[in-house]
């Protein structure tokens, strides 16, 4: 731990190079007030660059997201790129959060000052547009300035490589080492406006053309949709995508339609969070819509709700993933097709893949892994998803975006719902069909947000050292430590427990969140195929709740 004098010295050195008057004023105020705790919070640690890039709270110091942190990251990225390419090119995108445009401009200035080419997206745009642009422009890397669905005070820095997918180890460590070697940012050579190319709307048009290859089918487009971008950047691009595909314009929640970095109508701008979809569901109910859709603020995630007896039902990410997978496989062909999901998502995708005679892979959590999955050299990935509302949908030519894409997913869900409506059916009917065919795969979650991250490690250690004999009345038959590389996967922090009982099987995965101070637990109960799906759902929900209750106790978080 740094002494008070060391903290003050570090703050003074930061002040001397910081180009941002706002964070300089923040630091001066802390120094004048003698606020040692606040200085330690900012200078006692630093944001670590990893496979998720950088993400954290805005503010001064190495423990925060700010212009110095971003310029150092850009300089490290530029150095790593120059180590393998003569004159690399980087495409840079940004959302509408506080500081995003400034961070994007700083990145462009640093990389062009280092002798690289740079393309800047024309305005705040969805993350999938940036991921698409990397391959479309033949860039060697991409940077997206976004904190996705994090709270308003956060921002982040997401790095893609030339294949259009997020970076993996060891590349993240190599970039981190290059960042560590960066000196003062006020001594970096900087490019000026005119040294980089500001792209026009043609990049958005190219992305929309790529979505033309999605398997939308030929069903009538007669479907009514209520939509919210949750104060993010998705609305304009989604409207254009729907119009291009021949769908009626979605009805948009007026008070959430425009980008607003303060996200004033939601506690957390994440459609998974309780209450986040309340306004779009109210709009859907008021207008008699067939479907409700929400994107998160950078529009890489997609949430779906449908009318059901007693009110609207929000589908889980696993339910949407299963529906989209089967839709894609019905509308594409070839035994070389590959579908991919993660170890925390439902096992149903494996059953669907087997039934359709296609290849299936399971990865660690995150699209950075999903997009790298292969079972054979000639794999053609047509679909990938994770339970956290992330989907990459493709057609016969594979996926057009090598990351989760909330716009493409929304478009395909709309096509699937329109096809079902034509046949006098609903998405719930299709889910019931899958339960009859493959067995009922019910998933749930237990998520605990903490203020002290050490509580997460303590809970995992407790579960490792004294795993329960049973959860929810089901025997724990196997405990796999994911840190040891279970199932041939790369090592990662977490545990997987397999359970058995009088009916069906169950599984629990426990892991720390990679982007938030949360312990996340993923539950699945699988019951045999049945014609009485409502009764099976009730039994499965009771089983999930019993497992959830016992798991909280086992983690010491009761």
pLDDT tens per residue across span 87-99: 899 999 999 999 9
Instruction: For residue 104, give both structure tokens.
Output: 């994007």
Backbone angles phi, psi at 130, to 5 degrees: -65, -45
Domain 51-205 has CATH 3.40.50.2300: no
Report yes or no on whether pTM surpasses 0.75: yes
pLDDT of residue 419: 96
Q: Domain 440-554: give its CATH superfamily.
A: Alpha-D-phosphohexomutase, C-terminal domain (3.30.310.50)
Q: Which of 171, 121, 163, 122 is nearest to 144 (CA)?
A: 121
Catalytic, out of 100, 148, 346, 392: 148
**Which residue bears the tokens 């010491």?**
556
Task: For residue 145, give the nearest of 102, 200, 190, 193 by alpha carbon.
Answer: 102
Q: Which residue has the tokens 């002798």?
A: 115
3-state secondary structure 211-225: HCCCCCCCCCCCCCE
Mean local confidence (pLDDT), 61-73:
98
CA distance 184 to 497: 48
Cα–Cα distances in angstroms (integers) from residue 107 to residues 72, 78, 86, 166, 173, in the given order: 9, 10, 19, 18, 20
In sequence order, the β-bridge partners of residue 12 are: none
Torsion of CA 321, 322, 325, 330, to 10 degrees: -150
Domain ranges of the chain: 1-44, 51-205, 223-313, 317-404, 440-554
Residue with the larger pLDDT of the pair 258 and 310: 258
User: Which pairs count as long-range contacts for 275-281, CB under 8 Å and 24+ apart, including other chains?
Assistant: 276/230, 277/228, 277/303, 277/305, 277/314, 279/228, 279/253, 279/255, 280/226, 280/227, 280/228, 280/253, 280/256, 280/305, 281/226, 281/305, 281/312, 281/314
pLDDT of residue 544: 96
According to the CATH classification, is domain 223-313 in 3.40.120.10?
yes
90, 81 Cβ separation under 8 angstroms: yes
Share of the chain above pLDDT 90, in %: 90
* Local structure of 296: helix, strand or coil: coil
Compute and round to an integer the Cα radius of gyration of the chain: 24
Output DSSP code: residue 265. Answer: T
Structure tokens at 231: 């104060």
CATH number of 317-404: 3.40.120.10
Tokens of 45: 């640690």
Positive or negative, the CA dihedral 125, 126, 132, 134 is positive
User: Mean pLDDT lowest for which of 121-130, 339-348, 451-460, 480-489?
Assistant: 451-460
Chain CA centroid to CA 462, Å: 28
- E runs forming strands in 63-140: 89-94, 117-120
Rounded to whole angstroms, the Cα distance separating 261 from 23 reads 18
- Within a 10 A sphere around the Cβ of 72, how many other Cβ atoms? 25
Residue 305 tokens read as 């709700």
User: How confident is residue 557, by pLDDT bands cut at 50, 70 and 90?
Assistant: low
Average pLDDT over residues 513-521: 82
**Phi-psi domain of 263 (left: phi exceeds 0; alpha: psi -120 through 50; beta: other):** left
At residue 76, the pLDDT reads: 98
Spatial strand order of the sheet with 302-308 comes to 251-252, 225-228, 291-295, 302-308, 311-314
Q: Helices in 170-316 by DSSP H: which ranges? A: 171-180, 202-211, 235-244, 278-287
- Eight-state DSSP code of residue 185: G
Token pair of 233 as six digits: 């950047």
Q: Tokens 């207008």 appear where?
A: 287
Q: Which of 26, 369, 410, 440 is nearest to 166 (CA)?
A: 369
- Determine the pLDDT at residue 558: 56
| H-helix segments, 65-99 | 67-82
500 is catalytic: no
Distances (CA, A) of 70 to 75, 90, 263, 281, 413: 9, 15, 23, 38, 36
Q: Do domains 51-205 and 317-404 have the same CATH topology?
A: yes
Q: Is the pLDDT of residue 226 over 70?
A: yes
With residues binned 3-state (H G I as helix, E B as strand, rest as coil), the percentages for the chain, rounded to 5, are 40, 20, 40
Phi, psi of 10 (to 5 degrees): -65, -40
Confidence at residue 315, expressed as pLDDT on a 0 to 100 scale: 98
pLDDT band at 202 (very low <50, low <70, confident <90, very high): very high
Residues forming beta bridges with residue 447, ordered by sequence position: 520
Per-residue pLDDT tens for 261-300?
999 999 999 999 999 999 999 999 999 999 999 999 999 9
516 pLDDT band, cuts 50/70/90, is: confident
**Is 185 in contact with 71 (CB distance < 8 Å)?**
yes
- CB under 8 Å to 504, separation ≥6 — which residues? 439, 525, 526, 527, 528
Cβ distance 556 to 458 under 8 Å? yes
pLDDT digits (tens, 9 = 90+) for 444-497: 999 888 777 778 888 898 899 989 999 999 999 999 999 998 888 999 999 999
> With helix as H, strand as E and coil as C, how does 135-179 read?
HHCCCCEEEEECCCCCCCCEEEEEEEECCCCECCCCHHHHHHHHH
Longest CA span, the chain:
73
For 140-163, write each residue's pLDDT tens digit: 999 999 999 999 999 999 999 999
For residue 453, the SS3 value is coil
């Amino acid at each position: 731990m740094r002494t008070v004098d060391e903290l003050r010295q570090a703050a003074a050195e930061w002040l001397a190079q910081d180009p941002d008057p706002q964070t300089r004023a923040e630091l001066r105020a802390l120094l004048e007030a003698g606020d040692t705790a606040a200085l330690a919070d900012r200078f006692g640690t630093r944001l670590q660059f990893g496979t998720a890039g950088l993400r954290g709270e805005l503010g001064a110091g190495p423990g925060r997201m700010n212009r110095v942190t971003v310029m150092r990251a850009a300089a490290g990225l530029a150095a790593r790129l120059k180590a393998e390419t003569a004159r690399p090119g980087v495409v840079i995108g940004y959302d509408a959060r506080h500081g995003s445009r400034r961070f994007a401009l700083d990145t462009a200035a640093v990389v062009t000052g280092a002798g690289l080419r740079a393309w800047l997206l024309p305005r705040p745009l969805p993350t999938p547009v940036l991921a698409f642009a990397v391959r479309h422009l033949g860039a060697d890397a991409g940077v997206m300035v976004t904190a996705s669905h994090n709270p308003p005070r956060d921002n982040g820095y997401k790095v893609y490589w030339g294949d259009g997918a997020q970076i993996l180890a060891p590349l993240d460590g190599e970039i981190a080492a290059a960042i560590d070697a960066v000196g003062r940012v006020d001594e970096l050579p900087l490019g000026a406006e005119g040294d980089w190319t500001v792209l026009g709307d043609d990049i958005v048009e190219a992305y929309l053309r790529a979505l033309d290859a999605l398997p939308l089918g030929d069903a009538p487009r007669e479907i009514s949709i209520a939509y919210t971008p949750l104060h993010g950047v998705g609305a304009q691009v989604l409207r254009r995508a729907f119009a291009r595909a021949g769908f009626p314009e979605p009805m948009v929640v007026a008070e959430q339609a425009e980008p607003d970095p303060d996200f004033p109508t939601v506690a957390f701008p994440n459609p998974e969070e309780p209450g986040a979809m309340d306004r779009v569901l109210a709009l859907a109910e008021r207008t008699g819509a067939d479907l409700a859709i929400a994107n998160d603020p950078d529009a890489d995630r997609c949430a779906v709700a449908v009318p059901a007896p007693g009110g609207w039902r929000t589908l889980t990410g696993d339910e949407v993933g299963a529906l989209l997978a089967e839709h894609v496989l019905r509308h594409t062909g070839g035994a070389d097709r590959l579908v991919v999901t993660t170890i925390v998502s439902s096992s149903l995708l494996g059953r669907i893949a087997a039934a359709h005679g296609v290849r299936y892979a399971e990865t660690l959590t995150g699209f950075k892994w999903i997009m790298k999955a292969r079972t054979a050299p000639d794999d053609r990935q047509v679909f990938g998803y994770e339970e956290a509302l992330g989907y990459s949908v493709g057609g016969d030519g594979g996926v057009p975006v090598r990351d989760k894409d909330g716009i493409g997913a929304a478009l395909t869900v709309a096509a699937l719902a329109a096809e079902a409506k034509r046949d006098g059916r609903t998405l719930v009917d299709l889910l019931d069909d899958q339960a009859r065919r493959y067995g009922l795969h019910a998933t749930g979650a237990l998520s605990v947000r903490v203020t002290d991250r050490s509580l997460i490690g303590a809970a995992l250690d407790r579960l490792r050292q004294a795993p329960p004999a049973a959860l929810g009345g089901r025997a724990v038959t196997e405990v796999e430590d994911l840190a040891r590389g279970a199932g041939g996967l790369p090592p990662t922090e977490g545990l997987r427990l397999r359970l058995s009982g009088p009916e069906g099987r169950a599984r629990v995965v426990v892991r720390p969140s990679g982007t938030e101070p949360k312990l996340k637990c993923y539950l699945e109960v699988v019951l045999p195929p049945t014609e009485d799906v409502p009764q099976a759902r009730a039994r499965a929900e009771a089983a999930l709740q019993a497992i959830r209750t016992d798991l909280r106790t086992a983690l010491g978080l009761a």
